[in-house]
Structure 1
Amino acid sequence: MFRISDFRGNDVPNCHMQNCPFTKNYMYISSNYRTPLMDAFLDSGKKLGYRTIDYNSDERIGFGYVQANTLNGRRHSTSKAFLFPFKDRKNLHILTQATVTKININHVNKKAESVEFVYNKMTYTVETKKEIILSAGCIASPQLLMLSGVGPKEHLSEMNIPVVQDLRVGQNVYDHVAFLGLVFQLNTTGIAITPSNTKIQDVKDWLFNGEGPLSLPSGVEGIAFVKTSVSEEEFDYPDIELLVGPLSLATQRSQNNLSGVKVDYFEEAFGDLTDEETFSIAPMLFHTRSKGQITLKDKNPFHWPQVTYNYFKDRRDLKTMVEGIKYAIKVGTSGNFENIGSRLYKKKLPSCSTLEFGTDQYWECALRSLATPMQHHVGSCRMGPAWDPEAVVDHHLRVHGVKRLRVGDISIIPIPLTAHTNAPAVMVGEKLADILKADWN
């Protein structure tokens, strides 16, 4: 079943590859592939007291089908939805393969005046008549601000960058963290995705119809929002997300080790599962308390900034994730999962071999060994009032103390979200568009 909605959640007609209109101003949401794992997943949730929900509704806790910004089995990005349909406008100029290196800000009146960028090894400067909007993401936006003299005074002085405005840019970074090390084996066949059972027809189904197992977003089929026993939330807000899919970390060998796990470590941990049918339930931590930071490596805009995540610096994060792991195991070994022969793969990780498998100490070690960043960064250009010492932009996304400069991306979100960050990032863009229309009539 193909569920398609516009970005605001309104249902639009179902469509297929041949007759689906790329309607302007619509960002499609779809979920169309099912395996027996989903029936087991939803059944397990019901036996544990959870409802099957549409998690994009006002229901916060429950189990449901994954929904993603995809159309015909392919990512339907903001570029496809909002930029491509209008790329021929005379007042819109799109330049790709260019790198912005600096925003020039007048040090006297603190007014943003122009943008410098490099294109085909040539440096260009574009002046602004009204204002500049920086939308480079949670890592590059703070990097550009700091290169332009907006950032922590002590850090900019260390980099020999003249300080225009002393703000806590890059000092409030949060990210979701997940654990992919839970692998469940099956005694039934034809359910999980493995190199041997991926057929040429599966490739054709995806290429020509946007259907089949290859249309699953990152291999995820279902999502659950749960509240663990260690949650400090007063209300019914989930603190853990569970992501289920018909493949696992053990499948990654065939994908050039995309998980980032070293080959020898991977072979020792998961080499016994060669071409076995496995699946995973990955817990993800929502309300990260450990805070990281983004700093400049040097003054060269072509050098990546330094990102320090500080995962699990706050032990409460570790404690919550351990409970999330236990909950995932409970889900994956109950209900209809038993009927398809689901069992947890219990071989110890090489780095945790001296600990008893399944204990809290073992899972803490496993998390420190195989925890995975979700790239859901927020907070590096935190939104807040002028009296907030951590704030970088105000409620209209204007950079505090700098005229004609705004930041319009996910970096302005001040706290970790109970959600993935794609939809909130689009929300920031849409809200900023409304603000700009109001400010400039």
Structure 2
Amino acid sequence: MESAGEYDYIIVGAGTAGCLLANRLTRNKNRSVLLIEAGGRDDYLWIHVPVGYLHCIGNPRTDWLFNTESELGLGGRSLIYPRGKVLGGSSSINGMIYMRGQRGDYDRWADLTGDDSWRWENVLPIFKKSEDHHAGASDVHGAGGEWRVEKQRLSWQILDAFRDAAEYVGINKVEDFNGGDNAGSSYFEVNQRRGVRWNAAKAFLRLAAQRENLTIMTGCHVERLLIEDTEHGKVCRGVQFTGGGRAFTAVAHRETLLAAGAIGSPQILQLSGIGPAGRLNGHGITPVVDLPGVGENLQDHLQLRMVFGISGAKSLNTMANNWFGKLKIGLEYALFQSGPMSMAPSQLGAFARSDAGQGTPNLQYHVQPLSLDKFGDPLHGFPAFTASVCNLRPTSRGHVRIASNDSYAPPRITPNYLSTSEDRAIATAAIQLTRQIAAAPPLARFKPQEFKPGPHYTTDEELVAAAGQIGTTIFHPVGTCKMGRMDDPLAVVDSQLRVKGVGRLRVVDASIMPFITSGNTNSPTLMIAEKTAKLIVAGEN
């Protein structure tokens, strides 16, 4: 086994969190950093064209190609579970939506951990630090940072009508979802620069890669962490990994930072003997630290994709159903970086309450001027829009567990969607609210007809079954290395993201979220990394 060298810090995973960590930790030229990424460079054309996510998800060049186990709540279906396997991680293949969540999300984290640094008023400046908002600096937005936020470069008549219909049923129009209360409807703001995807690799790694104190190794698969017993307890000394048919070890003198995401981080911990002791023994892995919470507490947003056929308005279904239409769309993007090829997967958003008892919005809509049976299938041959609605704060909990002691074997991913009565009740309410919006007068001239799941589903029992048929992931897995107090039996890390029972090891990614944020999870992950980088630097003194 070859030595890949000795460093102050080793970062495992060059996704959203890993790219920012590498940038921040190499600002001081006296720190040496190794960044290890299983995927390759982000030089694939379709990463950068916004609509190119269609070519990145399900592509082994950019996606881990995970699948869930069969889901009882989804009628026994298994879902594809995309995760970025490339520099930039999931920020290279995601929907590009800039969303922070709600004030209450972070206050809830602070209450759970007893650490007020996670409160909204304390994390807001951290969000602003990396932000470069199109409208400039304000009380809630930053300017001049690396993380570019822009308006979308197109609008659709049918989406404007949906927004009017949402207002008719009480969902007011707003201009900004990111001030701490995201109630209302608006076009999403996106991480793009002039119609081109702006991923974490461009934002944070491009500059850092020029620094002599950063070593980046791509195409390298981390097999396990190197844990040693010392007089002060167990300590992480580095990592063991493979790449190019060779086996390596690397040593970290200060810390190893696990930033492999909500699937990869618990998998690596378990392979390293950190996790539920009984389950590890069952796979022939000697437990190093018995942490029952590793891989548990999986949360995700299940989107219910309701499809409505329309007439009298354009949708992407009809615009892109022939070679002339596709050529026109391609020329518009080539000349102006606008039009359908500059689209995020979802353009219009709305946040609403499933019932009057909800203190803040607990439903999020992603509305699209297109429809298809499932991801990867061709567009329908008739004009339509899709109103995807998800429960923002699900009570269902799943898990990520290794399938064997082979680090190359994909883990078993079990989200347990719709496994609680609360989630099933909210799913039925979400479908009913969507039908109210579709039936509102502002949409009447387009004659919306429910295609999926279909108007014949009416009783609560039928609507739960319908939710299971049209439900799919919106790619927001979090929580599998939960942050919490030291006496919390399911906590994996403390409020500074240090792994319980192992020195010099932190987890820095979406897996540490104790509760999922009320919206898209990419930019909250960036904030987590920014906050932790500051902690690490401060702790050196």
Deviation at 1:361, TM superposition (A): 2.5
- In the alignment, is the contact (CA less than 8 A) between 2:98 and 2:523 conserved in 1? no
Q: Which residue number in structure 1 is paired with residue 370 of structure 2?
A: 247
State the TM-score, normalized to the length of structure 1: 0.86
Structure 2 residue matching 1:283: 3-state secondary structure: strand
Going from structure 1 to structure 2, the CA distance change for 1:334 and 1:163 (only over 3 Å counts) comes to: same
Q: Number of residues paired by the alignment?
A: 404
- In the alignment, is the contact (CA less than 8 A) between 1:103 and 1:116 conserved in 2? yes
Matching of residue 94 in structure 1 with residue 216 in structure 2? yes
CA deviations 1:35-63 (Å, max 9, x no partner) are 10232122112212222121112333111
Equivalent-residue separation in structure 2 for 1:7 and 1:257 (angstroms): 36
Q: Which residue number in structure 2 is paired with residue 161 of structure 1?
A: 285
Q: Which residue number in structure 2 is paired with residue 225 of structure 1?
A: 351
CA deviations 1:56-88 (Å, max 9, x no partner) are 123331111112212233321111101112211
Matching of residue 313 in structure 1 with residue 436 in structure 2? no
Going from structure 1 to structure 2, the CA distance change for 1:192 and 1:339 (only over 3 Å counts) comes to: farther
Matching of residue 200 in structure 1 with residue 327 in structure 2? yes
Structure 2 residue matching 1:51: 3-state secondary structure: coil
- In the alignment, is the contact (CA less than 8 A) between 1:174 and 1:416 conserved in 2? yes
Alignment of 1:53-202 (within 5 A): 53=174, 54-108=176-230, 109-167=233-291, 168-180=293-305, 182-194=306-318, 195-196=320-321, 198-202=325-329
Going from structure 1 to structure 2, the CA distance change for 1:402 and 1:203 (only over 3 Å counts) comes to: same
Q: Which residue number in structure 2 is paired with residue 19 of structure 1?
A: none
Alignment of 1:406-425 (within 5 A): 406-425=506-525
Going from structure 1 to structure 2, the CA distance change for 1:10 and 1:70 (only over 3 Å counts) comes to: closer
CA deviations 1:216-253 (Å, max 9, x no partner) are 111x1211100012x653x2x11111111100125x6x
The alignment's C-alpha RMSD in Å is 2.5
Higher mean displacement: 386-395 or 35-44: 35-44
Equivalent-residue separation in structure 2 for 1:122 and 1:11 (angstroms): 44
Letter of the structure 2 residue corresponding to residue 175 of structure 1: D
Where does the alignment leave 5 or more consecutive residues of structure 2 unmatched?
A: 1-96, 100-125, 137-142
Matching of residue 257 in structure 1 with residue 377 in structure 2? yes
- In the alignment, is the contact (CA less than 8 A) between 1:333 and 1:343 conserved in 2? no
Where does the alignment leave 5 or more consecutive residues of structure 1 unmatched?
A: 15-21, 259-272, 350-355
Letter of the structure 1 residue corresponding to residue 182 of structure 2: R
Deviation at 1:10, TM superposition (A): 5.7
Equivalent-residue separation in structure 2 for 1:373 and 1:204 (angstroms): 32
Structure 2 residue matching 1:128: 3-state secondary structure: strand
Equivalent-residue separation in structure 1 for 2:255 and 2:279 (angstroms): 26
Equivalent-residue separation in structure 2 for 1:357 and 1:44 (angstroms): 22
- In the alignment, is the contact (CA less than 8 A) between 1:4 and 1:12 conserved in 2? no
Deviation at 1:339, TM superposition (A): 2.2
- In the alignment, is the contact (CA less than 8 A) between 1:60 and 1:225 conserved in 2? yes
CA deviations 1:366-386 (Å, max 9, x no partner) are 222221012211110000111
Structure 2 residue matching 1:30: 3-state secondary structure: coil
Letter of the structure 2 residue corresponding to residue 385 of structure 1: R
Equivalent-residue separation in structure 2 for 1:357 and 1:312 (angstroms): 17
Q: Which residue number in structure 2 is paired with residue 371 of structure 1?
A: 471
- In the alignment, is the contact (CA less than 8 A) between 2:351 and 2:364 conserved in 1? yes
Equivalent-residue separation in structure 1 for 2:527 and 2:435 (angstroms): 34
Structure 2 residue matching 1:345: 3-state secondary structure: strand
Letter of the structure 1 residue corresponding to residue 365 of structure 2: L
Q: Which residue number in structure 1 is paired with residue 343 of structure 2?
A: 216
Matching of residue 285 in structure 1 with residue 391 in structure 2? yes
- The structure whose residues are more often strand, as a share, is 2
Going from structure 1 to structure 2, the CA distance change for 1:334 and 1:226 (only over 3 Å counts) comes to: same
Q: Higher relative contact order by CA 8 Å / sep ≥ 6: 1 or 2?
A: 2
Q: Which residue number in structure 1 is paired with residue 428 of structure 2?
A: 322
Going from structure 1 to structure 2, the CA distance change for 1:228 and 1:81 (only over 3 Å counts) comes to: same
Equivalent-residue separation in structure 2 for 1:68 and 1:23 (angstroms): 16
- In the alignment, is the contact (CA less than 8 A) between 1:27 and 1:77 conserved in 2? no
Equivalent-residue separation in structure 2 for 1:364 and 1:276 (angstroms): 27
Overall identity of the aligned pairs, in %: 29
Alignment of 1:388-427 (within 5 A): 388-427=488-527
- In the alignment, is the contact (CA less than 8 A) between 1:290 and 1:310 conserved in 2? yes
- In the alignment, is the contact (CA less than 8 A) between 2:333 and 2:341 conserved in 1? yes
- In the alignment, is the contact (CA less than 8 A) between 1:29 and 1:71 conserved in 2? yes
CA deviations 1:362-418 (Å, max 9, x no partner) are 221122222101221111000011111110001111001100000000000001221
- In the alignment, is the contact (CA less than 8 A) between 1:225 and 1:241 conserved in 2? yes
Equivalent-residue separation in structure 1 for 2:453 and 2:289 (angstroms): 53
